[in-house]
Amino acid sequence: MSETKEKYFYGVGRRKRSTARAKIYPGKKEVVINVNGKPVREYFADYYARVLDNMLSLAGVKEGVINIFVRGGGVKGQAEAARLAIAKALVVQDDSIKPVLRLHGFLTTDIRKVLAKRPGLRKARKSEQWSKR
């Protein structure tokens, strides 16, 4: 018994503490985005859902199912990781779209992360208040 597996295009995006994996299944219907099994507007706030929709419209994607699996971090980090994962999966699907995504900054990884707390300090750089007397 051999199962026929659906063909999909895969991309991984990371931001802060968040990791997102995107699978794009090309299809004949309108774009459907699911995040961790929920519709994108249920999982993310309206602003972050519109950011993903805006990227897809700039890329010219009009059909297909996009499944995103995110974990770790907060809402903003997860949304930006998902955006990067979708962009990388779109490049795997169609390499001619890369200049458009690069122009709008969707393929650029933001490497900034929270600095670890240092021993003897209150936070990463903040120290105890110093008193002369």
In the chain, what are the domains? Answer: 9-103 (3.30.230.10)
CB contact set of 24 (below 8 Å; sequence gap of 6+):
8, 9, 10, 11, 64, 65, 66, 86, 89, 90, 93
Query: The pTM is what?
Result: 0.85
How far apart CA 45 and CA 76 sit, in angstroms, is 9
Residue 3 binned pLDDT confidence (cut-offs 50, 70, 90): low
Mean pLDDT over each residue of the chain, to the nearest integer: 89
Give the pLDDT confidence of 48-84 residue by residue, as tens digits: 888 888 888 888 888 888 999 999 999 999 999 999 9
Please determine, for residue 2, whether its predicted confidence score (pLDDT) is greater than 60.
Answer: no
Which sign does the torsion angle of CA 32, 11, 44, 104 carry? negative
Asked whether 89 and 23 are in contact (CB, 8 A), the reply is yes
Give the pLDDT confidence of 86-104 residue by residue, as tens digits: 999 999 988 898 999 999 9
